[in-house]
Structure 1
Amino acid sequence: MNNLLYYPYINVPRTDWALRTLLYYENIGSIVPQEYFYEPERNYEEFMLELVRNELVTPINPIEVLDNPWEATRPFLKLIETNREKLITAQNSFRQGQRGNIHIDKFSKARVHADKFDKDIFYGLEQLGLAERTDGRWFSVEQKTANNLMFFLATLISTKTNRLPTTDYVRPFYNRNSFDSQRQKRETILSNLIPFPSEIDLKKLLKFKEKNLPLLNAFRTRVELIVLDPNITEDSPLFHQHLAELLQRKDELSAKMNESHFKNILFGTVCGLIGAYQGLATASTTAAIIGGLPGFAHAVYSALQIERAENIFDQTGLKYLALADKRIRR
């Protein structure tokens, strides 16, 4: 999939994980309460607000995606009720203060109908001894139940919006062995291939992605072929061999983009332009320029060195990373 859905939190954090994810996917979605759409400056954290404004993250109102939010959450409550042993453990955890907060508008149909959830998902969790209303439109929910409820909601929404649910949160959810294995493989590959600094110009990042979308798709395909192959398990010799090859190809492309093609550029472009401009007529004059580039010619030469990065031919899918490293660092 080209797009993903971030959960369980509202704000995408300013971390290396987030920057790698922004580079790897076309767009990130985040499940956002309805009130955030009306007052983004008041509700979002600063980094998340910048991501939304630059259209790198798309806020998703679950009530606009789910046609029957209450009916859709009933199977989740049934799952909890049918496993009495886990329910008792969760109730004890809730009494001991192991809790997480969920905003009511992630399930509410309208801002003014907060009270209706006394009869819906949160009412059901309250009756099970796993939730209570805390402040305004927030509910305190037993920690593992809150995590699983957000994973349940993220799975529903990602399926309906054709996104891949993903998280930087490491605690376990229900039935996620295969999902975790693929996610961890992907994270290991990307953390090795994209060691970017925390300071990146987000406007430049968006422009870069839009310009190089075919390269991004080629790179993602290359990585996903490894991630989705059940025969390539993380920490296996085959996995490390694939990872080493990707790193080698990326380094080779980066070296090609940075190496000097002095003579080719000089004879093919710079000297031709400077010669026409200055009326160069003899080989000796040209040779003199080669020996000591004038300031103007040197400036043109330097600019062409920058522009030539896009001309590097690549069949490995790693050109996207080599260009990203060259283009979007601050």
Structure 2
Amino acid sequence: MSNLLYFPYINLPRTDWTLRTLLYYDNIGSIVPQEYFYEPERNYDQFMLELVREGLVTPINPMDVLDNPWTSTRPFIELIQENRKKLEKAQNRFIAGNRGNIHSDKFSKANIHADKFDQEIFYQLEQLGLAESSGGRWYSVEKRTANNLMNFLATLVSAKTDRLPTTDYVKPFHYRNSFKKIQEKRETILRNLIPFPQDIDLTRLMRFKEKHSDLLQAFRTQVELIALDSNIIEGTPLFYQRLAELTQRKDELSTKMNESQFNSILFGTVCGLIGAYQGIAAASTTGAIFGALPGFANAVYSALQIERAENVFDQSGLKYLALADKRLRR
């Protein structure tokens, strides 16, 4: 999949993980309450607001995605009701205050906004002794139940919107082992290949992705060939060999772009073009600009080296990262 659904939080963190994710996927979705659409400046943090404005992150209201919210979430309530012992333990944790004490937008730990579900599910959780209103349209929910409920919702929304659910949260969620291993393997590959600084201009990032969408697809194919191959197990010599091959190819491309493989041809072309203009320049007030041909030619040559980095040939899929390293670093 080329698109993600980020959870359990609303705001993506300003971290290396987010940058890698932005570079690797076409778009990231985030589940947000309805009020965030009307007053984004008031609700998002500054980094998230910029991501939304640049189109790098798409806010998603689950009520616009799910056709039958209560019917869709009823199996979750039924699952809780089936195991009375687990239910009693959860009730005791809720009574004991195991709800967390964090900002309301970090709903996965304790507080969930009513807009994220049909009101019926909160009524049912209240009847089960696992939730209560915490003011406004926020509900305080027993911590483990809240985590499971948000995982449940993220899975439903991901399936409906054709997105891959993902998180930067350290502890694993409920996904089966094979899914978790693929995610961890993918993250290891990206962490080694994309060690970019955090202060990248998001407008430039969006323009770069739009311009080089074909290269992004080629790069993603190379990574997924490793991530999805069950024979390539993370931590084995084969895994590190494949990772080293990708890293080496990326470094080779970066070197070619910096040194340029067009040195003699390009410099000769620049001198030829400028020489053709000399006759015109000598008869005009701009003659002084072209008077020092070697210096001027070097300046134009250097500029064209930067512009012609895209011309470096590559079939490995790593050209996307080499260009990103050259174009996006401040």
TM-score, normalised relative to structure 2: 0.89
Matched, 1:36 2:36: yes
Q: Is the 8 A contact 2:130 2:141 kept in 1?
A: yes
Secondary structure of the 1:5 match is: strand
User: What is the match of residue 264 of structure 2?
Assistant: 263
Q: 1:83 to 1:235 in 2, by over 3 A?
A: farther
User: What is the match of residue 9 of structure 1?
Assistant: 9
Residue 238 (structure 1) shift = 1.5
User: What is the match of residue 179 of structure 1?
Assistant: 179
Q: Is the 8 A contact 2:133 2:139 kept in 1?
A: yes
User: What is the match of residue 251 of structure 1?
Assistant: 251
Secondary structure of the 1:102 match is: strand
Between the aligned partners of 1:215 and 1:190, the Cα distance in structure 2 is 16
User: What is the match of residue 277 of structure 1?
Assistant: 277
Q: 1:128 to 1:265 in 2, by over 3 A?
A: same
Residue 125 (structure 1) shift = 1.6
1:169-209 alpha-carbon deviations (Å, 9 max, x no partner)? 13333343222111111111111110111101000000000
Structure 1 residue ranges (4+ consecutive) displaced by more than 4 angstroms after TM superposition: none
The letter of the residue matching 1:105 is: D
Secondary structure of the 1:168 match is: coil
Between the aligned partners of 1:237 and 1:79, the Cα distance in structure 2 is 43
Between the aligned partners of 1:293 and 1:276, the Cα distance in structure 2 is 11
User: What is the match of residue 282 of structure 1?
Assistant: none
Between the aligned partners of 1:91 and 1:175, the Cα distance in structure 2 is 24
User: What is the match of residue 106 of structure 1?
Assistant: 116
The letter of the residue matching 2:242 is: H
Q: 1:234 to 1:89 in 2, by over 3 A?
A: farther
User: What is the match of residue 230 of structure 1?
Assistant: 230
User: What is the match of residue 239 of structure 1?
Assistant: 239
Matched, 1:83 2:83: yes
Q: How does 1:138-177 map to 2 (within 5 A)?
A: 138-177=138-177
The letter of the residue matching 1:104 is: A
Matched, 1:132 2:132: yes
Between the aligned partners of 1:194 and 1:98, the Cα distance in structure 2 is 38
Gaps of 5+ in 2: 100-109, 280-291
Q: Is the 8 A contact 2:28 2:56 kept in 1?
A: yes
The letter of the residue matching 1:265 is: L
Secondary structure of the 1:140 match is: strand
User: What is the match of residue 323 of structure 2?
Assistant: 323
User: What is the match of residue 65 of structure 1?
Assistant: 65
Secondary structure of the 1:30 match is: strand
Secondary structure of the 1:4 match is: strand
Residue 253 (structure 1) shift = 0.7
Residue 98 (structure 1) shift = 2.7
Secondary structure of the 2:132 match is: strand
The letter of the residue matching 1:93 is: R
Q: Is the 8 A contact 2:274 2:293 kept in 1?
A: no
Q: How does 1:201-220 map to 2 (within 5 A)?
A: 201-220=201-220
Between the aligned partners of 2:316 and 2:240, the Cα distance in structure 1 is 17
Between the aligned partners of 1:293 and 1:97, the Cα distance in structure 2 is 77
Matched, 1:308 2:288: no
1:137-171 alpha-carbon deviations (Å, 9 max, x no partner)? 11111222111111111111111111111111133
Residue 248 (structure 1) shift = 0.8
Between the aligned partners of 2:43 and 2:246, the Cα distance in structure 1 is 40
Secondary structure of the 2:30 match is: strand
Secondary structure of the 1:232 match is: coil
Matched, 1:189 2:189: yes
Q: Is the 8 A contact 2:90 2:142 kept in 1?
A: yes
TM-score, normalised relative to structure 1: 0.89
Secondary structure of the 2:257 match is: helix
User: What is the match of residue 282 of structure 2?
Assistant: none
Q: Is the 8 A contact 2:6 2:30 kept in 1?
A: yes
Between the aligned partners of 2:317 and 2:86, the Cα distance in structure 1 is 46
Matched, 1:20 2:30: no
For this pair of structures, how many residues does the alignment match?
308
Residue 293 (structure 1) shift = 6.2
Between the aligned partners of 1:29 and 1:80, the Cα distance in structure 2 is 28
Between the aligned partners of 2:228 and 2:81, the Cα distance in structure 1 is 34
User: What is the match of residue 104 of structure 2?
Assistant: none
1:276-311 alpha-carbon deviations (Å, 9 max, x no partner)? 1225xxxxxxxxxxxx96222111011111011100
User: What is the match of residue 287 of structure 1?
Assistant: none
Residue 91 (structure 1) shift = 2.7
User: What is the match of residue 50 of structure 2?
Assistant: 50
